[in-house]
Amino acid sequence: MALKFAKVAEKTLPLHIVETTDFEAWKASCDDQTKTWLETTGFKPSIGAVSLVPGSDGKPRSAVVGFGHQEDRVKGRFALAAAATKLPERSFEITSSPEGFDFETEALGWLMSGYAFGRYKDAHGTKAQLVCPDGVDADRLEAIAAGEALTRDLINIPANDMGPDELEKAMRALASNFEARISVVKGDELLKQNFPMIHTVGRASTRAPRLLDMTWGTKGPKLTLVGKGVCFDTGGLNLKPGSSMGLMKKDMGGAATVLGLAHMIMALELPLQLRVLIPAVENSVSGNAFRPGDILTSRKGLTVEINNTDAEGRLVLADALALAAEDNPYQIISMATLTGAARVAVGPDLSPFYAEEDRVADALSRAGTKIADPLWRMPFWDPYEKMIEPGIADLDNAPSGGFAGSITAALFLRRFVDTGRYTHFDIYGWNPSAKPARPKGGVGMGARAILEALPEVLNL
């Protein structure tokens, strides 16, 4: 699907966006035909309401859509997209809108409402197209929408069609599109090149584990993105119950999100040096699966006691983060569907994140609010460091007690990054129910906020 803005054409219809408070005054300013039509049909400008106003020939000559009350809009996002889905397959141009209308955010929501996952059956998103509003950067929004669509597709594809091989192919296709460079360390070669925990987690699967490494750009500050690529997570020998395993195709949501973000960065030709690292594995059960009680030695040399084989994401990320830190980039950002504790804390809408630098956290929080990609800062709480130290090894991958699960996972990852410039996102990657511009299924979280904040984070 092409998530693109429409071009102005003869058949482009005027679009009027009206909020509840201003509706009567706005209606009074309309021509008699429009006013009569709205009164006769009983149109109310609630969020998502649509009225096609006919001309003398009976064909639509304009569209009026509701924008509701301000207090209704703060309860959700992309209010215009709620109406876009109900409009016919025509192009529309905004000709009137409420004071303070956020053209950029609402136009992006319209674009993203065009997404539908149609790999296995016919599916269609919004068919109506929008002419890009004046003053809005169409190329930027189209790049963002395309990156978001890539993330959604990768998460939505089930594990039988999205294993480590297919995730590698997706990265290779992205690299080819933007003339990026890619290298892959696969199978037993992981041991030879000192990625022991990636190998250990993935060795029980018939699909070989691997580390995917993509680089792009030759000038500017170095940004390294690390995404958890667990293409399916059975839980290993600590086998998940069926109710918890059903959505584990999305356990590579961190990888999908950093690939979508990478698309945005490269499409917009940002002046930076980008590196994307994805440990791609399947956490399976077989005779050579790693066991509870095993002690692993990581790339960095830290030893890790395995107290739960279902806490495997932090293990594969640890080796990738150690590699990332060796290059001393300006900023390292990891994204992972890492803990259920994060979902219990903030639910599926917010992206919890941890940042070592206050300036980075502030920039991300402001960006998330500005562009309707909400984030919530969580603490690297140093007093909990003792919780991840089991005594028999340097680190514990699954501290007992059940307290602060997301925080202890973030502290675990931080042990493998020595730069002091590390940010970690513990995302959900899934929209459990349909909302405007966000159908049920895989969804990018945090990527747009990161993109918006990058100029400040990297001092571009």
pLDDT digits (tens, 9 = 90+) for 300-312: 999 999 999 999 9
Cβ-proximal residues to 272 (8 Å cutoff; 6+ apart), any chain: 217, 220, 221, 222, 223, 265, 454, 458, 460
User: How is residue 132 written in tokens?
Assistant: 């890009």
Q: What is the mean pLDDT of residues 335-342?
A: 97
Task: Answer yes or no: 435 catalytic.
Answer: no
Helix (H, G, I), strand (E, B) or coil at 443: coil
Residue 203 — φ and ψ, nearest 5°? -70, -25
Indicate which residue of 27, 240, 366, 377 is catalytic: 240
Q: Output phi, psi for 408, to 5 deg.
A: -65, -30
Q: What is the pLDDT of residue 8?
A: 84
Backbone angles phi, psi at 297, to 5 degrees: -110, 125
Across residues 344-354, what is the average pLDDT?
97
Q: Work out the percent of the chain whose per-residue pLDDT is above 70.
A: 100
At residue 1 the predicted structure's pLDDT band, cuts being 50, 70 and 90, is low
> Do residues 152 and 115 touch, judged by C-beta distance below 8 A?
yes
CA dihedral 212, 315, 263, 224 (to 10 degrees): -90
Domains and CATH numbers, the chain: 13-136 (3.40.220.10), 141-457 (3.40.630.10)
Contacts of 99 (CB under 8 A, 6+ apart): none
Average pLDDT over residues 240-247: 95
- Say what the pLDDT of residue 76 is: 87
Q: What gap in Å lies between CA 345 and CA 409, rounded to an integer?
A: 14
Residue 137 has pLDDT above 60, yes or no: yes
| Cross-strand partners of 355 | 423
If you search the block for the tokens 């956490």, which residue do you land on? 283
Least trusted range by pLDDT, from 6-10, 54-58, 135-139: 6-10
Token digits of residue 329: 């980039």
The pair phi, psi for residue 301, each rounded to 5°, is 100, -10
Confidence band for 72, pLDDT divided at 50, 70 and 90:
confident
Half-sphere exposure of 363 (CA within 13 A, CB side): 18
| Res. 314 pLDDT band, cuts 50 70 90 | very high
Strand extents, DSSP E, 175-319: 181-186, 210-216, 222-227, 229-233, 273-283, 295-297, 303-305
192 a catalytic residue? no
Catalytic pick from 203, 299, 314, 421?
314
- Residue 129 predicted with pLDDT over 80: yes
Taking residue 288's Cβ as centre, other Cβ atoms within 10 Å add up to 8
d(CA 347, CA 355): 20
pLDDT value, residue 378: 98
Q: Which two tokens stand for residue 388?
A: 């991840």
